[in-house]
Structure 1
Amino acid sequence: MQGVAVLGFLVAVAPITATPGASLTLVVSRVATGGRRQGWWVILGTVTGLYVHATLAAVGLAALVLRSSQAFWVVKLVGAGYLVGLGIWLLWSAARRPTGPPPTVRARRLPWRVHHPYLQGLLGNVLNPKAAAVYLTLAPQFLEPGRPVLVPMLLLATAHAALHTCWLAGWTAVSGAAARLLRRANVRRLFDRLTGAILLGLGVRAAMT
């Protein structure tokens, strides 16, 4: 694969990457909760999701989902339901958040736990049909006909992952700089409500689009 093809793909996905969505919302929310490290967990989960979509598109599994209206709707509604559920959970957490200072000792969360930021980032990306569509409709335009697909597709995913990481890392740094303010009880409660409402809106929009 030529470098110009990779560059062209990056130019094509840049506006999609810069569009605010679940990944950006999760990064800002988790950094405000537990610092920059949690933001990097979300980034890692999101990048893993990109490789999942690239692999599925290369082997043709994701194409089957988009060709079958029933299968597409199942994936779409599951993803929308996840975002809605996550938004409701944040709104519920904001309502139950104590007014005192946050505890200084936090329990360790393993990556496979439901509320771990890595799993939230992964599911937020994997369950997004629009992310799958990038590798089914956009990425093939930058592949060479008649050649193996898997390795070039993963190369495009690597470039996409690098771009996505840089974008979300910037927001991680900005959110980390404002973390002290965001951890104040009243500010944190307001921020949880705002984040929950955004995720809830994204889920409803995904279901209705």
Structure 2
Amino acid sequence: MFGIENYLGFVMAAILLNLTPGSDSMYIITRSISQGSQAGFYSVLGIISGILVHTLLAALGLSIILANSPLAFMIVKYIGASYLCYLGVKMLMSKQQPLIAESLQENEKSSSAKTLAHWQIYKQGVLTNTFNPKVALFFLAFFPQFIDASYAYSMVSFIILGLTFAVTGFIWCSCLALLASKFSENLRKTPSIEVILNKISGVVFIGLGIKLLTDKV
């Protein structure tokens, strides 16, 4: 149906791949541990939105440019790595008060600021995933194995498979965010501990950026 072969096999493979730890998982865990379940949830939404972007690019054939152009691949790779390092340095240099302590005196102004923070976390998740060229190449290598080469509307097949991958990823990543936030809930209630967690998160982001930069295709 829709040019997709062995859809059940794809679903099983997608679940296994989502369970495999990677940079996206680390981003979600780090956000959840340092800032709580809401931050983790918005980071999940950001990562999944990035997956949808890659799905659309793959369906349109634009990801082939990354596969065939070493220069384009390197540009996207450097942008992604630089952005992760930027986030890490920003968290290390931040002097803002712990989010848990602030929430105890929440008012309309702080609520508005929290909404802005959630939007920033979501946006960072989107950019972190979108500017990882290895995700684009993975989609190009993995999806075609489940698409009938003779099917005339392969774009539809790509989109369906991409949505399926996103749904399985959303379920697993949401569980991951919830578990990570629960694990660190008591720690984050102590302002000094929360500050330390934020600093550790900054180091993790820088590490992810360096890893992306040094990884080979």
Backbone CA RMSD of aligned residues: 2.7
Partner of 1:120: 124
Amino acid corresponding to residue 5 of structure 1 in structure 2: N
Matches within 5 A, 1:1-209: 1=1, 5-32=6-33, 34-93=35-94, 96-98=95-97, 102-104=101-103, 105=106, 106-108=110-112, 116-147=120-151, 148-177=153-182, 178-209=184-215
Matches of 2:82 and 2:115 in 1, distance apart?
21
Deviation at 1:92, TM superposition (A): 1.6
Matches of 1:99 and 1:40 in 2, distance apart?
19
User: Contact between 2:5 and 2:146, CA under 8 Å: does it hold in 1?
Assistant: no
Question: 1:92-114: CA deviations, max 9, x gaps?
Answer: 22xx3558972122342598879
Deviation at 1:28, TM superposition (A): 3.0
Secondary structure of the structure 2 residue equivalent to 1:137? helix
Amino acid corresponding to residue 157 of structure 2 in structure 1: P
Question: 1:153-196: CA deviations, max 9, x gaps?
Answer: 11111211121112111122213323242242222122222222
Matches of 1:173 and 1:208 in 2, distance apart?
31
In percent, how many aligned pairs have the same letter? 27
TM-score, normalised relative to structure 2: 0.82
TM-score, normalised relative to structure 1: 0.85
Equivalent pairs counted in the alignment come to 207
Deviation at 1:38, TM superposition (A): 2.5
Q: 1:181 to 1:14 in 2, by over 3 A?
A: same
Q: Where does the alignment leave 5 or more consecutive residues of structure 1 unmatched?
A: none
